[in-house]
Amino acid sequence: MLIHLVNPNTTRSMTEKAALAARAVAAPGTEIRADESRDGPASIEGPYDGALAVPGLLARIEAAIAAGAEAHVIACFDDTGLDAARALSPHPVIGIGEAACHTASLVADRFTVVTTLSRSVPTLRANIARYGLAGRCAAVRAAEVPVLALEEPGSDACRRISAEIARALAEDGSEAIVLGCAGMTDLARALSREHGVPVIDGVTAAVVMAEGLVRQGLATSKRGGWASPAPKAWIGRRLDQARVEA
Amino acid sequence: MLIHLVNPNTTRSMTEKAALAARAVAAPGTEIRADESRDGPASIEGPYDGALAVPGLLARIEAAIAAGAEAHVIACFDDTGLDAARALSPHPVIGIGEAACHTASLVADRFTVVTTLSRSVPTLRANIARYGLAGRCAAVRAAEVPVLALEEPGSDACRRISAEIARALAEDGSEAIVLGCAGMTDLARALSREHGVPVIDGVTAAVVMAEGLVRQGLATSKRGGWASPAPKAWIGRRLDQARVEA
Amino acid sequence: MLIHLVNPNTTRSMTEKAALAARAVAAPGTEIRADESRDGPASIEGPYDGALAVPGLLARIEAAIAAGAEAHVIACFDDTGLDAARALSPHPVIGIGEAACHTASLVADRFTVVTTLSRSVPTLRANIARYGLAGRCAAVRAAEVPVLALEEPGSDACRRISAEIARALAEDGSEAIVLGCAGMTDLARALSREHGVPVIDGVTAAVVMAEGLVRQGLATSKRGGWASPAPKAWIGRRLDQARVEA
Amino acid sequence: MLIHLVNPNTTRSMTEKAALAARAVAAPGTEIRADESRDGPASIEGPYDGALAVPGLLARIEAAIAAGAEAHVIACFDDTGLDAARALSPHPVIGIGEAACHTASLVADRFTVVTTLSRSVPTLRANIARYGLAGRCAAVRAAEVPVLALEEPGSDACRRISAEIARALAEDGSEAIVLGCAGMTDLARALSREHGVPVIDGVTAAVVMAEGLVRQGLATSKRGGWASPAPKAWIGRRLDQARVEA
Amino acid sequence: MLIHLVNPNTTRSMTEKAALAARAVAAPGTEIRADESRDGPASIEGPYDGALAVPGLLARIEAAIAAGAEAHVIACFDDTGLDAARALSPHPVIGIGEAACHTASLVADRFTVVTTLSRSVPTLRANIARYGLAGRCAAVRAAEVPVLALEEPGSDACRRISAEIARALAEDGSEAIVLGCAGMTDLARALSREHGVPVIDGVTAAVVMAEGLVRQGLATSKRGGWASPAPKAWIGRRLDQARVEA
Amino acid sequence: MLIHLVNPNTTRSMTEKAALAARAVAAPGTEIRADESRDGPASIEGPYDGALAVPGLLARIEAAIAAGAEAHVIACFDDTGLDAARALSPHPVIGIGEAACHTASLVADRFTVVTTLSRSVPTLRANIARYGLAGRCAAVRAAEVPVLALEEPGSDACRRISAEIARALAEDGSEAIVLGCAGMTDLARALSREHGVPVIDGVTAAVVMAEGLVRQGLATSKRGGWASPAPKAWIGRRLDQARVEA
């Protein structure tokens, strides 16, 4: 089974970290093919970055369809471009944000999300509400760590995340922690040991969900908002519509 | 006061129709400057079209800021790119979808939205829930009229919309109708007379709200998810970040 | 356009302050005609005061209809008598509480309401939930300032409100503040400058919304709970039913 | 124990019917003292009637406090003036609407309310949502029977209510019916037998709840919105504030 | 009237305490017959204890039906086995948790539940949400008192509960307190006097509700999930199905 | 990896059917060990059957822990005993109801559940609301097929389920169907082909989720309601507490 893991920002080290985590949980026989956007911001912090990352993301989705991918995982906790990608691809598409939150609700009555910057909080809160899990999410907290600080070896990012987790457990009544950024994927196990609660990473959560959908023969329903894009006139730069229609 | 009305699709006739409606309700002294995206789909039907329309929309927002606009109205009922535009601009930004639904809740306990195609329904439902108005919205219905059929003089679009309104009033217990597409803006008054209930058009609703915010001296809070974009590295095509920072 | 601004308590200085604020935001050509109830409490603090203020309010609504008003603004943050006034008048009726909260949701993902006394909090919370905006309202806080203290030049009312706003910004994660009393209308701009976030005043928010409805040709739907009162027998004191029926 | 049953409209036959029902369920030793408003509409159909019925209702509450009542039941399904009455009285106050809906949720997972006129539906829906029982209420339906038709011996009111119940059971998936008007109190048992489901009447439901609160020594909390009215200046007609303060 | 009060744990002293409280509020002519499970845990702390307490509880329900009970009260705040008991019995069944929360919502806009151990909190929160009262419940707090500590004369249980109530009133904005364990029934009056707010005990709340349902002639609807159990094959130990069918 | 699949009713043919489906989706290296309760009803139809099935289910959970299981799947769509099993086991426990609904929300904006009998509907509705997915579930429908009819070769069960699916797609606006009984697991693929939408079976959905949790090293948080049972006195028949404590 070929799973396409796409990082919607343009920072390759994040792609590599996510791919490593994905391969560590993939079942025997699953191949993870990871790439990142070639067109957009180096990190996604807030809705402006997120919106401008989508065309580059969709180009990678399209390329992966052509290359035989059977499912896609979008490796940004904002679930950047998830609806558009579901419309575009005939295969299952999983966002790491939704995957992490659904997974957390299987091991905890209430969980807290710890993300990078407070400017991402409203987007995450809105996503979680839309998925239906607002009642299971005690809080969305920001450790005030810029996304790319997670890529710098000497930064205090991990320490700040751990401190925010400690506050969450003390104040929110949470039973588990969801790490709110793809760049935190390598921290989950150590933070879980440190704090004695499940710590969920969205990349691994999404990979096993994507595998599971493929094995069940399930793909995105095309009956509603995720119907394939309708053919129409376009002006200016655009994705290769012909390939989409094929 | 200069209000920027931006059509996020590339169809000029829709821009012109919306501008006409906007000018008809604007207060004395308000200038409406309308344009449309120069980069993207000719109509927005579903989340794939919507996502790819955002960069072209943001380019027009940016240009309008430079040209002295004091507020922006996004003239697509999906409220395409609303979060990104709010982050980008220092001025108020109003989506016609949110404007219409807030307005409807001032004249009706429950309203029905009548939109074009069923593939837009989940996006609208999610938006309305996020705005908080799900409890006021009895249903989101599709008349199964393609967006551009609204631009064709001889089409049966208006007849089908009217028939869907009749069904909404008979079945939903609604007290008002919200027209769910910028292309329907010219139909509101006649449909209201025909059906004997308020029929709300988002373009005019958004224009008076945008004017109102400017007159009150209110603009988007920059404390949360609508903070100005952070400076960072970009790859490939992008908006002129320098101007955004200025 | 003639807008009727009605203060449902009997304190004229509050009427005058609200009228001043209303005129400052009204569009050219809009006339604000303001009056207050002649029958009821000097301030509305809690549901007992509120209920007994309604007959006096409705009498002013009725008089304003006769005098040619095209819309009514109810200048109490409890939205006192809003449903009854909507049933009574053929014109749009806007409460300053609903207007402020709808407006806040256009410039902030989450806002805090700062009102006068804690005895008003449950009414405001219930109203906001009914409007659908509970998810947008982080908290309703009381500064524990009696309504009429806002009319006393030397009182510490403004200082206490400012202190409560500081607490709201520190503790609630709010991005904007809604002032929860018509008597605070003159404080909005200064508090906004002091705290660096949008501070919304309901009087001005309601005036521009009322103007907007009139310019759109929209009025209260008569299909549901706001249908005109049915003729019937009355005992004792009552409004002049004949005039209502006419 | 002395329970005060107050009909907030001015129609004595409705008071008498409610009193009869109340006495039939009261425990040994409970005295039901029933009266009706002497100032207001002959029936309450929609929010205009409801708002103008409150002063007359509060006058009866005040008189009953003076006469030694230990609890009050407001015998209108709109729960007219409930918040104001709770603020006014030191004793428990129960509305028949809330009593019926709480009671229904003890014998049915979902219930349907069948009320008189559709103009009352939004008020009932808002009340039920505020009580928290919206998820338990499958629908609020109107039999389109004017309130006073329930007082006319030869009317087809009962037949229309029964027909609406039949539709509710067929279409709503409800397990019980709540009768949505004090004037229907005499119909509950026969309709329950006819339709084979619990049919809840609010008058009897409220009487046993009021008795129960008194026997438990519970009364309205005065810590929030139901605090006793604050002393203040009044203009025009008013309740006897001195007696309230005493 | 014969009311069956059943303690679903096996600790007789809790039964006796609950019976005492029940008799103190019962109306003249009501007989309270109390028993406890003979098969299961000595206290119910969390869902494992709760699940294993149900067969012993249902055996007592069955025996009480045979003995002529007209209603059942389940004296555990978790409302242990409530759905199963409603299916089993033709008579009304009331859980003390639901009774207390419905009752609290008649005397307070918002209440806090103070229970024994934090491991019970998620169950209570889920129950309250299902009943519809989540919006009325400001918090569910645990005093971290084991259930059986309430049976030990010298324990500091009451002091800890009182301290938790003080915190609830200071931090939650609550207007009333619900005691979240049948073993606290004897503390309600003293805690109410101490803290100056209504303190609701579920045992007494449930007894008066059960009496009320009987007097109204209401019983559990058999149209939905509480239909009588269907006859079918069983393996191993079981209740006497024949008696159930009879 | 050893996954324990437990059927909480006593009908072996259902266990075998579920085991077959489970093995068909399990990853290489996963062993499915399936058993059924030896103590309880032959099918679970409503809350009475469900409650009495739990002790037998917990006994199988306990035995499977001793036999080295790394995760448990409860193969009844009611998620019978899920909370108790999570408290009992140190390993992940997945109910097929929750698994199916979380999975459906990854491939459809809205889904309909088609279950066996209407007496199961309220339990399923309550479960789905608790999981947070009520907003994603358009309806819970009953095909009125007894559970064991699914085990009879010549029954019309499949035809009735297919007819109910057709009604769901026509009336609910659903984009996917969830099969609401473990006994329907063999029908999913054929019904999906017939109706052209994703049809989700909970058994396979739960197996891949359980595998995924194990591969991620995640287990139930013991910080809240799913803490291990506290040691205490028991009367009568009971699980082997010593083994639970070990």
Q: What is the pLDDT tens value at each position of chain F, 246 positions in all?
A: 999 999 999 999 999 999 999 999 999 999 999 999 999 999 999 999 999 999 999 999 999 999 999 999 999 999 999 999 999 999 999 999 999 999 999 999 999 999 999 999 999 999 999 999 999 999 999 999 999 999 998 889 999 999 999 999 999 999 999 999 999 999 999 999 999 999 999 999 999 999 999 999 999 999 999 999 999 998 875 554 433 333
Work out the minimum CA distance from F193 to partner chain E, whole angstroms.
Answer: 32
Q: Which structure tokens are listed for F170?
A: 């026509």
Across the interface, which of C45, C88, C239 has its CB nearest the CB of D230? C45
Contacts of C171 in chain E (CB under 8 A): none
- Residue E136 CA, chain-centre distance (Å), reads 19
Output phi, psi for C10, to 5 deg: -105, 15
CB-side neighbour CA atoms (13 Å) of D143: 29
d(CA F41, CA F61): 17
Q: Which structure tokens are listed for F74?
A: 């409860």
> What are the Cα distances from residue D54, in Å, to D9, D51, D62, E53?
9, 6, 12, 50
Chain D residue with CA closest to C86: the answer is D48
Work out the minimum CA distance from E122 to partner chain A, whole angstroms.
Answer: 7
DSSP string across F192-213:
HHHHTS-EEEHHHHHHHHHHHH
Interchain proximity D129–B135, CB inside 8 Å: yes
**3-class secondary structure, A145:** coil
List the one residue out of D103, C197, C158 whose CA is nearest residue E221: D103
Chosen for mutation from B119, B125, B172 (greatest number of chain F CBs closer than 10 Å) is B125
Interchain proximity A173–E121, CB inside 8 Å: yes
Work out the minimum CA distance from F209 to partner chain A, whole angstroms.
Answer: 7
Interchain proximity E110–C122, CB inside 8 Å: yes
Work out the minimum CA distance from F123 to partner chain D, whole angstroms.
Answer: 10
Chosen for mutation from C223, C226, C228 (greatest number of chain B CBs closer than 10 Å) is C223
Q: Which residue has the tokens 């957009």?
A: A40
For residues A244 and A210, the model is more confident at A210
What pLDDT sits at residue B148? 93
Strands F234-235, E40-41: pairing is antiparallel
Q: Where in chain A is the domain with CATH 3.40.50.12500?
A: 2-96+204-245, 97-201
Interchain proximity D209–E209, CB inside 8 Å: yes
Q: Where in chain C is the domain with CATH 3.40.50.12500?
A: 2-95+204-245, 97-202
Interchain proximity C129–E135, CB inside 8 Å: yes
- Do A and D make contact via 3 or more CB pairs under 8 A? The reply is no
- Do F and C make contact via 3 or more CB pairs under 8 A? The reply is no
List the one residue out of D184, D209, D213 whose CA is nearest residue D43: D184
Q: Which residues contact F217 (CB under 8 A, 6 or more apart)?
A: A189, A192
What pLDDT sits at residue A237? 58
* Kind and range of the H or E run holding E5: strand E2-7
List the one residue out of D105, C140, B139 whose CA is nearest residue E218: D105
Does the structure show a pLDDT above 70 at B243? no
Interchain proximity A173–E129, CB inside 8 Å: no
Please name the fold of domain E97-202. Rossmann fold (3.40.50)
Output phi, psi for C168, to 5 deg: -60, -45
DSSP string across C97-137:
HHHHHHHHHHH-SSEEEEES-GGGHHHHHHHHHHHT-GGGE
- CB neighbours (10 Å) of residue C194? 13
Question: Is E56 within 8 Å of E40 (Cβ atoms)?
Answer: yes
- What mean pLDDT is predicted for residues D116-128? 97
What pLDDT sits at residue B74? 98
What pLDDT sits at residue A153? 86
Confidence of residue C153 (pLDDT cuts 50, 70, 90): confident
Q: Which structure tokens are listed for E119?
A: 């491991």
**3-class secondary structure, A97:** helix
Interchain proximity C223–B197, CB inside 8 Å: yes
Sequence-ordered strand ranges (E) for A87-202:
93-95, 111-115, 137-142, 176-180, 199-201
Contacts of F12 in chain E (CB under 8 A): none
User: How close are the terminal C-alpha atoms of chain D, in Å?
Assistant: 22
Interchain proximity A42–B233, CB inside 8 Å: yes
Interchain proximity A218–F226, CB inside 8 Å: no
Does the structure show a pLDDT above 80 at C183? yes
Query: Which chains would you list as touching E if contact means 3+ CB atom pairs under 8 Å?
Result: A, C, D, F
d(CA D87, CA D31): 24
Strand partners, C201: C179
Chain E to chain F, count of Cβ pairs less than 8 Å apart? 162
Query: pTM for this one?
Result: 0.96
- Over residues C56-82, the pLDDT tens digits come to 999 999 999 999 999 999 999 999 999
Work out the minimum CA distance from D201 to partner chain E, whole angstroms.
Answer: 9
Helix D12-25 crosses helix D202-216 at what angle (to 10 degrees)? 50
What pLDDT sits at residue D238? 53
- Do B and A make contact via 3 or more CB pairs under 8 A? The reply is yes
Q: Which residue has the tokens 């203040």?
A: D232
d(CA C150, CA C157): 6
> What are the Cα distances from residue D38, in Å, to B151, D24, D203?
61, 26, 20
d(CA F165, CA D89): 55
Residue type, D59: A
Question: Is D216 within 8 Å of D51 (Cβ atoms)?
Answer: no
Confidence of residue E237 (pLDDT cuts 50, 70, 90): low
What dihedral do alpha carbons B124, B130, B132, B134 form, nearest 10°?
Answer: 40
- Do E and B make contact via 3 or more CB pairs under 8 A? The reply is no
Residue type, F124: L
What dihedral do alpha carbons E161, E163, E165, E167 form, nearest 10°?
Answer: -140
What pLDDT sits at residue F242? 37
DSSP string across D194-205:
HHTS-EEEHHHH
Residue F155 CB burial class (10 angstroms; 0-12, 13-18, ≥19)? middle
Residue B152 CB burial class (10 angstroms; 0-12, 13-18, ≥19)? exposed
Across the interface, which of F109, F204, F205 has its CB nearest the CB of A224? F109
Share of chain A above pLDDT 70, in %: 96
Contacts of B103 in chain C (CB under 8 A): 212-213, 216, 218
d(CA B157, CA B162): 9
Chain E residue with CA closest to C126: the answer is E109
Radius of gyration, CA atoms only, chain E: 17
Q: Which structure tokens are listed for E33?
A: 């017959």
d(CA D91, CA D85): 10
Q: Looking at domain A97-201, which CATH architecture does it have?
A: 3-Layer(aba) Sandwich (3.40)
d(CA B45, CA B53): 11
Q: Which residues contact B193 (CB under 8 A, 6 or more apart)?
A: none
Work out the minimum CA distance from D25 to partner chain C, whole angstroms.
Answer: 31
Contacts of D120 in chain C (CB under 8 A): 225
Chosen for mutation from A133, A148, A232 (greatest number of chain B CBs closer than 10 Å) is A232
Q: Which residue has the tokens 């309401």?
A: C113
Instruction: Tell me the residues of C at the A interface, defined by beta carbons under 8 Å apart.
Output: 109-110, 135, 173
**3-class secondary structure, E199:** strand
Contacts of D135 in chain F (CB under 8 A): 129
Query: Which chains would you list as touching D if contact means 3+ CB atom pairs under 8 Å?
Result: B, C, E, F
Chain A to chain F, count of Cβ pairs less than 8 Å apart? 155
Does the structure show a pLDDT above 70 at C245? no
Interchain proximity F105–A132, CB inside 8 Å: yes
Strands F176-180, F137-142: pairing is unpaired
Does the structure show a pLDDT above 80 at A238? no
Question: Is D162 within 8 Å of D194 (Cβ atoms)?
Answer: yes
Q: Which residue has the tokens 């020594």?
A: D217
What pLDDT sits at residue B237? 58
- CB neighbours (10 Å) of residue B238? 13
Sequence-ordered strand ranges (E) for D29-96:
31-36, 40-41, 71-74, 93-95
User: How close are the terminal C-alpha atoms of chain C, in Å?
Assistant: 22
What pLDDT sits at residue A186? 95
Helices in E26-142 by DSSP H: which ranges?
Answer: 47-66, 82-88, 96-107, 121-131
- Over residues E90-117, the pLDDT tens digits come to 999 999 999 999 999 999 999 999 999 9
List the one residue out of E78, E48, E239 whose CA is nearest residue F52: E239
Interchain proximity F106–A29, CB inside 8 Å: no
CATH number of D2-95+204-245: 3.40.50.12500
Across the interface, which of B42, B119, B235 has its CB nearest the CB of A232? B42
Contacts of A135 in chain E (CB under 8 A): 129
Work out the minimum CA distance from E135 to partner chain C, whole angstroms.
Answer: 10
Check whether domain A2-96+204-245 has CATH 3.40.50.12500, yes or no: yes
Interchain proximity B229–A49, CB inside 8 Å: yes
Does the structure show a pLDDT above 50 at D243? no
- Residue D28 CA, chain-centre distance (Å), reads 22
The one-character DSSP state at C151 is G
Residue E160 CB burial class (10 angstroms; 0-12, 13-18, ≥19)? middle
Chain A to chain E, count of Cβ pairs less than 8 Å apart? 6
Interchain proximity F122–D109, CB inside 8 Å: yes
Question: Is A9 within 8 Å of A36 (Cβ atoms)?
Answer: yes
The one-character DSSP state at F28 is T
Contacts of A133 in chain E (CB under 8 A): none
Instruction: Tell me the residues of C at the E interface, defined by beta carbons under 8 Å apart.
Output: 121-122, 125, 129
Q: Which structure tokens are listed for A191?
A: 């933070």
Choosing among 3.30.479.10, 3.60.21.10, 3.40.50.12500, 1.10.287.610, the CATH entry for F98-201 is: 3.40.50.12500
Chosen for mutation from F9, F39, F48, F223 (greatest number of chain E CBs closer than 10 Å) is F48
* Kind and range of the H or E run holding F166: helix F157-171
Work out the minimum CA distance from A100 to partner chain F, whole angstroms.
Answer: 11
* Kind and range of the H or E run holding B52: helix B47-66
Output phi, psi for F62, to 5 deg: -60, -45
Question: Is B224 within 8 Å of C110 (Cβ atoms)?
Answer: yes
Lowest mean pLDDT among A96-100, E149-153, E221-225, F222-226: E149-153
Q: Which residues contact E212 (CB under 8 A, 6 or more apart)?
A: D25, D103, D205, D208, D209, D211, D212
Across the interface, which of A51, A122, A235 has its CB nearest the CB of B224? A122
- CB neighbours (10 Å) of residue F190? 12
